Amino acid sequence: MTATEAVARASRRLRWQIAEVREIVIETPRVRSLLLYVAGWQGHLPGQHVDIRLTAEDGYQAQRSYSIASSPESELLTLTVERVMDGEVSPYLVDELRSGDKFELRGPIGRYFVWTVATRGSLYLVASGSGIVPLMAMLRHREFHKAPVPTGLLYSSRSLEDVIYREELDAMARRDPNLHVFHTLTRKQPDGWVGHRGRIDKYMLVGALVPLVSKPNIFVCGATSFVEHVSSVLVQLGHDAFAIKTERFGPTGG
């Protein structure tokens, strides 16, 4: 039974488990990936998230949800966290957390926003900022299985240094003729930049769809305003609203 099969069959109560930080990867100035060991972890599906809970010495607790960045085939569970200014939890996770630290975690949660290589059809992913995280789990899973699924990713970031997983995405795209990655930089573009500029618009969405011949499974992830905008444009372009799955990263991510 594969990791994904295990999760698909499980229907059990969520319980809090202990996550131990094994490694911290600096993705961008604001973003860290936390590689976690969770004893007894039952596996997950690409796109799912976890709840984490932190407890201060005086007993105060804070809880947040984070998408799982790692594919189900990875040994360690990866969460990628962006530091939100004045956030309560993310600055702790990004700036304070060290290898060996522990916190509570439960999951995986949410089978709605999920894609696996068993899903038929092409794959269209649209993300802004840390919205790339659950989509990265899907891409890593796709790569692990060398699935020849026609896939497009349109990824919006503020500047080149803010592009999370930049080298990994470039390398994936180089290795795989079926994967097409398009970037847009909204605030600052380096000299000689040939990618898109500015907020995602109809033309960028259409352009990134071109390589996908069949009607795609669409996943959109990012801040609510971004997700609403992209979804409505995709619907205007004629895509079935039911084929568009969205995950809005709201205020609970701070």
Partner 1 sequence: MAENISDLVLDGNAAAGCLHEIFASDITIAQIQCDACSSTRPVGSLRLYAAPMGAVLRCRHCDGVMMRAVNTPYGRWLEMSGTRCLRF
Partner 2 sequence: MNDNAPISRGFGSGRRAQTPKDRVPPGQYVTTDFPVLSAGPTPQIKVEDWTFALQLGGSLIGKWSWLEFEALPQTTIATDIHCVTKWSKLDTVWQGVTFDDLLKAAEVGGSTAPFIMAHCDGGYTTNLPIADLVDGKGMIATRYDGLPILPVHGGPARLLVPHLYFWKSAKWVRRLRFMQHDERGFWERLGYHNYGDPWKEQRYDGD
159 binds, among partner 1, partner 2, none (CB under 5 to 8 A by kind): none
Distance CA 65, CA 133 (A): 12
Q: Which residue's entry shows tokens 């969405």?
A: 205
DSSP symbols for 104-115: EEEEEE-SSS--
- Does position 155 interact with partner 1 (CB under 8 A)? The reply is no
| Among the listed residues 99, 88, 127, 86, the one whose alpha carbon sits nearest the alpha carbon of residue 32 | 99
Per-residue x/- track, 89-118, partner 2 (CB under 8 A): ---x---x-x--xxxx--------------
What the block records as the tokens of 82 is 């962006």
Q: Which of 1, 39, 57, 191 binds partner 2 (CB under 8 A)?
A: 57
**What residues contact 251, with CB distance under 8 A and at least 6 apart?**
none
Give, in order, the Cα–Cα distances in Å from 164 to each of 125, 136, 148, 184, 209. Answer: 15, 10, 24, 13, 22
Sign of torsion over alpha carbons 253, 79, 84, 195 = negative
What the block records as the tokens of 61 is 């607790």
- Does position 24 interact with partner 2 (CB under 8 A)? The reply is no
Decide: helix, strand or coil at residue 171. helix
**What residues contact 25, with CB distance under 8 A and at least 6 apart?**
32, 33, 35
86 binds, among partner 1, partner 2, none (CB under 5 to 8 A by kind): partner 2
- Does position 23 interact with partner 2 (CB under 8 A)? The reply is no
195 binds, among partner 1, partner 2, none (CB under 5 to 8 A by kind): none
- Does position 248 interact with partner 1 (CB under 8 A)? The reply is yes
- Does position 59 interact with partner 2 (CB under 8 A)? The reply is yes
Per CB under 8 A, contacts with partner 1 among 204-233 are 223-225, 228
- Does position 51 interact with partner 1 (CB under 8 A)? The reply is yes
Q: Which of 110, 121, 150, 211 binds partner 1 (CB under 8 A)?
A: 110
- Does position 113 interact with partner 1 (CB under 8 A)? The reply is yes
Q: Which of 2, 99, 232, 252 binds partner 1 (CB under 8 A)?
A: 252
Q: Give the largest CA-CA distance in the chain.
A: 57
102 binds, among partner 1, partner 2, none (CB under 5 to 8 A by kind): partner 2
Q: Which residues bind partner 1 (CB under 8 A)?
A: 11-14, 49, 51, 65, 106-107, 109-113, 223-225, 228, 242, 245-248, 250-252, 254
Q: Which residues bind partner 2 (CB under 8 A)?
A: 16, 18, 53-62, 86, 88, 92, 96, 98, 101-104, 251
